[in-house]
Amino acid sequence: MANKKMCLGLFTGSVDKLTAAGVILGGAAAMDMQVDIYVLLQGARAFRKDIGDDPAKLQMAENPELKAEFLESLKNLKVKTWVEFFREAKEITDVKIHICGLAGKIWGGEKIEDFIGLADDIVGIGAYITAAQEADVNLFI
């Protein structure tokens, strides 16, 4: 049986949702799924080189007043950062990370070099729509 395909529309730029996406991605990698991640709008900001996995530069989507507690708990539990989850998944299975061209430009990134080393390319929104149509699992975070 062929590997299942997952398409993840990653709209968020918040540390809590990026962490959740990393956990989901880790599960997909463990199941040897092929994963295409399309980094949209606020997500593109989180992928900028100058922001990367610095949690201090990211917002908290749900209950922003709990950010310090959330980050401290992750640290105490020795939970990987979202970037580490993504990097590890790319080492385990076929994961491609695509930055939306418009989203990149909104946040000052026009070249692949403007983003952390996880990004594979910059694409138009049509690539995301096509991948979503072809995926066995389609998530939007």
| DSSP character string of 19-70 | HHHHHHHHHHHHTT-EEEEEE-HHHHHHTBTTTTT-GGGSB-SS-GGGHHHH
Between CA 92 and CA 22 the distance in angstroms is 13
Domain residue limits, the chain: 5-140
- CB-based burial label for 95 (10 Å; 0-12, 13-18, 19+): buried
pLDDT at residue 121 is higher than 70: yes
Please give the model's pTM, rounded to 2 decimal places.
0.93
* Nearest of 86, 108, 104 to residue 36 by alpha carbon: 86
pLDDT tens, residue by residue, 1-49? 478 999 999 999 999 999 999 999 999 999 999 999 999 999 999 999 9
Please give the angle made by the CA atoms of 62, 80 and 84, to the nearest 5 degrees: 105
Report the pLDDT value the prediction gives residue 1, as an integer from 0 to 100.
Answer: 47
Question: How does the average pLDDT of the chain come out, rounded?
Answer: 95
Residues 87-96 have a mean pLDDT of 96
Instruction: Report the pLDDT value the prediction gives residue 56, as an integer from 0 to 100.
Output: 85
CA separation for the pair 94, 116 (Å, rounded): 18
Residue 55, pLDDT above cutoff 90: no
Domain 5-140, CATH homologous superfamily name and number: DsrEFH-like (3.40.1260.10)
Q: Which residues pair with 35 in a beta bridge?
A: 6, 95
